Amino acid sequence: MASSSPPSTYNLKGGGDQHIIPTDQNVLQKHVAFFDRNHDGIVYPSETFQGFRAIGCGFFLSTFAAVFINVGLSRKTRPGKSLSLLFPIEVKNIHRAKHGSDSGVYDSEGRFVPGKFEEIFSKHARTNSNSLTSDELMGMLKANRVPKDYAGWLASWTEWKILYILCKDKNGLLPKQTVKAVYDGSLFEQMEKERSSSKKKA
């Protein structure tokens, strides 16, 4: 389902180094651009690692994420180019790496589809209409599975499991506003800023 709305124009700042996301990107690009630590339009595994560390992930999870994400997405975002063992991801082409068995909240061009976002909660949030439990999250992933799309199943499970681990509240719920923030590209900036502030206070 395609969205006719224009690309979002957030200009978000956060973190100790005042990481800035350009305003001319669609929401999927904004979601990924946080990991473009030097703002050159390319995300290397080392930058993915740095980004995950910046939002509070441990060394091993950050290392796994850097390998899993860059090896899995690099080739897809570099159409017409040969394989690079540096496994760079081109932010402008991230929509080409959109995997199957997902929620459909991003359309094929990387734009946000509000109706699909609302469906996540209208269909799967039973305990609380504005949040997801772990079981409800797993139920959503199963409902979105395309038959035999094993790579898509793994990618979706990994993305949502990491999000749940990092962002669930004290009651084990994943809030709707948090899910919205990860889709619109603002969550990672907020997490880095909060972590940086906590370090300064400590």
Shared-domain flag, residues 121 and 87: no
Rounded Cα distance between 118 and 126, Å, is 14
What pLDDT is recorded for position 199?
78
| CA pair distance 94, 132, nearest whole angstrom | 27
Residues 88 and 167 in one domain: no
pLDDT of residue 115: 95
First to last CA, the chain: 47
Look at residue 201 in the predicted model and tell me its pLDDT: 76
* Residue 11 within any structural domain of the chain: no
**Among the three residues 80, 97, 114, which one is the final residue of a domain in this structure?**
97
- Among residues 97, 115, 144, the one where a domain terminates is 97
Q: What is the pLDDT of residue 12?
A: 35
Q: What is the mean pLDDT of each run of 10 residues along the chain (202 residues)?
A: 36 40 72 95 98 95 96 96 97 94 92 95 96 97 96 95 94 96 91 86 72
Domain span at residue 177?
100-192
Long-range contacts of 55-62 (CB under 8 A, 24+ apart): 55/166, 55/188, 55/191, 55/192, 55/195, 56/166, 56/191, 56/195, 57/162, 57/166, 61/162
Choosing from 54, 75, 97, the residue where a domain stops is 97
**Alpha-carbon dihedral sign for residues 98, 147, 128, 158:** negative
Q: Pairing mode, if any, of strands 131-132 and 174-175?
A: antiparallel
Q: Does a structural domain hold residue 198?
A: no
CA atoms of 102 and 38, how far apart (whole Å) = 29
Instruction: Tell if the pTM clears 0.85, that is, is over it.
Output: no
The answer to whether residue 5 sits within a structural domain is no
Q: What is the pLDDT of residue 153?
A: 96
- Please indicate, yes or no, whether residues 71 and 129 belong to a single structural domain of this protein: no
Q: Residue 151: its pLDDT value, please?
A: 93
